[in-house]
């Protein structure tokens, strides 16, 4: 059964109640956009038939770019001709999503003029997502966006638009300037961002501290998470104030420390920083009393991804501590080595985390010239990639072979 | 000593490869790069030159990027999905 009557009884159920509703927004857009009206119809049809009616991918894009536009087509264009083409555009957002109201109005004007008027602020990539336009409108949109100071983001097998947390712009715990690094990476990897040349996508996400507000540990091929090398800064007077106001320091702070490296004797807090796991729990609970250490930088982690071709992965430690200061040469050198080996040996649609799993972390570390470190071991007897070659003596292998024969 | 290779020459060789493969195999930029380095030799052709050649191919409009589960370089064509 097709739904071209304009009635949407199933979607209407998602429009009830005081909460924000995507149906409510599409209906508002449909008042002046035929594209949004047909979108409602097709969505209602999908709800009736319990099947999606979109095809995606293909050839669309703006001249010279290989990313930034995701072709999307209806597989029922005869019923809903206004969404026969319903392409998505990804627009590179500013670092940490800071906008002026003027910039937001400009973006909305461009999209109302050339697209459906619907957008996501923001997609899971972090980009501004313009939802629904036709192939002929792509170049005019791109021209107006660049005139307004915006560029397209990444899509396909390229460097995806780097994203970051608010960092030092609004957060006292930032261990490095996430906004600057995000901008620097975006500019440095322009070619890789717009011209897909990798086996699959590659994402950078910059988090200023281990709270990881951009969830980089779960979503970025390279997670750059702020940390510190020395000890947590303690203001014992402020700790006492928390205690005086009723906080149970022993139970709520020391008791919840995953490393059990904190002690509180009623007047003094002591931390064995050699055991500290940088989880931020104690700092989050007593922000006035505890602060990250003074020797700050970032931990470089590698390999997380959501489940698409293979299952989900979390990032694991690659470099326990790296100073994060412009021009970030050490980081860029590392990235270049990683890209080289992954491009050379990676399979089509193989993320770098999957690639490392396939070739083994030991071989990967050798290729990128990084020494194995105990910090890379997630659990005891895990990551068995360190081979103690010095324990083998010459002839050991030959003897084994002889025995096999 | 062999003449210095230009990005245009590499782009021409890449174009031929893409044209020959059209309809049979989708080629990724890395496929083209590896083939060019093998064809011209690593001493004459490197990653940087291949990147410049791909840029030339795309910006001249002779080839386009496509996405079908991964990104490829193909001759411009009307995609099936666009026809409905």
Q: Is-cis flag, bond preceding A122, omega within 30?
A: yes
Is residue A242 within 8 Å of A283, Cβ to Cβ?
no
Task: Say whether B68 and A75 touch across the interface (CB within 8 A).
Answer: no
Least Cα distance to A128 among A85, A68, A173 occurs for: A68
Strands A204-207 and A163-164 turn out to be parallel
- The total number of residues shown for chain B amounts to 84
How confident is the model over B25-81, as pLDDT tens digits?
999 999 999 999 999 999 999 999 999 999 999 999 999 999 888 889 999 977 655
H/E stretch holding A302 = strand A296-302
A227 DSSP β-pair partners: A297
According to the model, what pLDDT value does residue B79 have?
A: 62
Is residue A160 within 8 Å of A83, Cβ to Cβ?
no
According to the model, what pLDDT value does residue A405 have?
A: 38
Report helix, strand or coil for A147.
helix
According to the model, what pLDDT value does residue A389 have?
A: 61
- B51 interface with A at CB cutoff 8 Å: yes
Provide the residue-wise pLDDT of chain A in tens; the chain has 405 residues.
445 667 899 999 998 888 889 999 999 999 999 999 999 999 999 999 999 999 987 888 999 999 999 999 999 999 999 999 999 999 999 999 999 999 999 999 999 999 999 999 998 889 999 999 999 999 999 999 999 999 999 999 999 999 999 999 999 999 999 999 999 999 999 999 999 999 999 999 999 999 999 999 999 999 999 999 999 999 999 999 999 999 999 999 999 999 999 999 999 999 999 999 999 999 999 999 999 999 999 999 999 998 877 789 999 999 999 999 999 999 999 999 999 999 999 999 999 999 999 998 889 999 999 998 888 877 766 655 555 566 655 555 554 444 443
**Rounded Cα gap, residues A172 and A32, in angstroms:** 45
User: All domains of chain B, ordered by start, with CATH?
Assistant: 7-82 (1.10.10.10)
What global pTM score does this model have? 0.90
Task: Say whether A157 and B28 touch across the interface (CB within 8 A).
Answer: yes
**Rounded Cα gap, residues A371 and A97, in angstroms:** 36
- The answer to whether the Cα torsion of A376, A381, A385, A388 is positive or negative is positive
CA distances from A306 to A156, A217, A221, A233, A301 (A): 15, 11, 10, 36, 15
**Rounded Cα gap, residues A122 and A145, in angstroms:** 17
H/E stretch holding A261 = none
Phi then psi for A374, rounded to 5 degrees?
Answer: -60, -25
Binding-site residues on chain A for chain B (CB distance < 8 A): 55, 57-61, 63-67, 70-71, 73-75, 77-78, 84-85, 135, 155-158, 191, 195-200, 343-344, 348-349
């Amino acid at each position: 059964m097709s739904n071209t009557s304009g009635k949407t009884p199933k979607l209407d159920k998602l429009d009830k109640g005081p909460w924000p509703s995507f149906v409510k927004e599409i209906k508002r857009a449909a008042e002046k956009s035929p594209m949004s009206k047909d979108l409602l119809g097709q969505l209602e049809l999908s709800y009736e038939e319990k099947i999606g009616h979109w095809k995606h991918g293909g050839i669309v894009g703006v001249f010279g770019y290989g990313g930034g536009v995701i072709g999307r087509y209806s597989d029922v264009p005869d019923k809903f001709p206004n969404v026969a083409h319903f392409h998505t555009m990804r627009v590179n957002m500013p670092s940490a999503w800071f906008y002026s109201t003027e910039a937001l109005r400009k973006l909305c004007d461009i999209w109302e003029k050339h697209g459906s008027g619907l957008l996501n602020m923001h997609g899971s990539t972090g980009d501004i997502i313009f939802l629904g336009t036709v192939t002929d409108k792509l170049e005019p949109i791109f021209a107006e966006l660049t005139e307004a100071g915006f560029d397209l983001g990444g899509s396909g097998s390229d460097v995806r638009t780097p994203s970051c947390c608010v960092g030092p712009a609004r957060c006292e715990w930032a261990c490095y300037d996430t906004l600057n690094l995000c901008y620097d990476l975006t500019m440095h990897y322009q070619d890789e961002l717009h011209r897909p040349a990798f086996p699959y996508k590659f994402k950078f996400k910059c988090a200023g501290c281990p709270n990881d507000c951009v969830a980089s540990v779960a979503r970025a091929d390279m997670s750059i998470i702020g940390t510190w090398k020395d000890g947590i800064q303690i203001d014992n007077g402020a700790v006492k104030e928390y205690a005086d106001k009723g906080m149970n320091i022993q139970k709520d702070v020391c008791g919840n420390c995953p490393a059990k490296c904190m002690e509180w004797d009623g007047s003094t807090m002591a931390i064995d920083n050699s055991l500290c796991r940088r989880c931020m729990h104690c700092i989050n609970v007593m922000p006035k009393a505890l602060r990250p250490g003074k020797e700050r930088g970032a931990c470089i982690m590698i390999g997380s991804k959501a489940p698409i071709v293979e299952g989900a992965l979390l990032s694991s430690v690659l470099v326990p501590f790296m100073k994060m200061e412009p021009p970030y040469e050490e980081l860029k050198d590392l990235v270049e080595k990683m890209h080289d080996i992954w491009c050379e040996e990676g399979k089509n649609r193989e993320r770098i985390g999957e690639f490392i799993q396939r070739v083994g972390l030991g071989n990967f570390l050798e290729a990128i010239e990084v020494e194995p470190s105990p910090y890379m071991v997630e659990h005891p007897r895990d990551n068995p990639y360190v081979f103690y070659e010095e324990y083998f003596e010459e002839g050991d292998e030959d003897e084994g072979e002889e025995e096999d024969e | 000593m062999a003449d210095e290779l230009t990005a245009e020459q590499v782009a021409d060789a890449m174009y031929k490869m893409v044209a020959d493969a059209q309809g049979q195999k989708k080629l990724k930029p890395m496929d083209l790069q590896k083939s060019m380095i093998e064809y011209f030799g690593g001493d004459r052709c490197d990653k940087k030159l291949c990147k410049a050649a791909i840029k030339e191919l795309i910006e001249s409009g002779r080839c386009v990027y496509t996405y079908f589960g991964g990104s490829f370089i193909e001759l411009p064509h009307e995609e099936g999905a666009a026809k409905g």
